[in-house]
Amino acid sequence: MSVRKLKPITPGQRFRVVNGFDAITTDKPEKSLLAPKKRSGGRNSQGKMTMRYIGGGHKKRYRVIDFKRDKHGIPATVASIEYDPNRTAFIALVNYQDGEKRYIIAQNGLQVGQNIVSGDGSAPEIGNSMTLSTIPLGTIISCIELHPGQGAVMARSAGAFAQLMARDGKYATVKLPSGETRLILVTCAATIGAVSNSDHQLLVSGKAGRSRWLGRRPRTRPVVMNPVDHPMGGGEGKSSGGHPRSRKGIPAKGYRTRSKTKASNKYIVERRKK
């Protein structure tokens, strides 16, 4: 994993930091695992814009990812590590012994030719998936389920990882990437190791056009809007715009919006840090 700083031969490259893509082994995706990806441009079924600042961008095809890892006990060999335009992490193409091919989220250190397996009988090695009941305490994990059989929903982005802290009865205590400590059923599955592409946070786009390639349109700051458009709009010159808040008037910067009666509150041992 490495990043490259480009020479400033153009204004857009002056501060540009790009991914070295050392871990990537091929630039051709597996055709059988590609699906079309429809884009809405932030508009609903009536054609009205309901999400601002979305639209344009380079055409993408979706890579069908196996988040469930439900082929238990069947060994698979890592065929390639690939780039995925739909996520920050790299993905790995794995060939199962029965001939099936699947994409999985690649863990840091996963190598081409390495054998991986899912299920409770497998060893706690990088890339293997198993339930929290069989993972040794203190292990770094990622791609964690929240409900048994649901498929991975937590710690899936580049460089993300959680830590299995303890087990008590039917619950395991897991420290999540946000800093939150939470109880999760021990029958939920997780993958050993941190997610790949941990250098993603070091990248610098260099120019506004690169955001447009990713489908992000320019974002207007609320403080420069008119009073009719935003609570922070209006005023002469660069006035502060009052207290920071959303377009609907909900305060930002520290105001807690989580419901005090939410059912999952009882599973949170420690809230994330402010």
Question: pLDDT tens digits for 46-103?
Answer: 999 999 999 999 999 999 999 999 999 999 999 999 999 999 999 999 999 999 999 9
In a domain, 259, yes or no: no
In a domain, 169, yes or no: yes
Cα(200)–Cα(206) distance, integer angstroms: 14
In a domain, 207, yes or no: no
DSSP state of 210: H
SS3 call for 88: coil
Expressed as residue numbers, the domain containing 77 is 3-200
Record the pTM.
0.92
In a domain, 258, yes or no: no
In a domain, 123, yes or no: yes
In a domain, 225, yes or no: no
In a domain, 269, yes or no: no
Question: In the predicted model, is pLDDT for residue 191 greater than 80?
Answer: yes
Question: pLDDT tens digits for 166-186?
Answer: 999 999 999 999 999 999 999
In terms of average pLDDT, the best of 120-124, 155-159, 241-245 is 155-159
Cα(85)–Cα(241) distance, integer angstroms: 37
- CATH number of the domain within which 101 lies: 2.40.50.140
In a domain, 206, yes or no: no
Alpha-carbon torsion angle 115, 119, 123, 126, nearest 10: 60
CA distances from 216 to 88, 189, 212, 224 (A): 15, 34, 5, 20
Task: Please count the structural domains in the chain.
Answer: 1
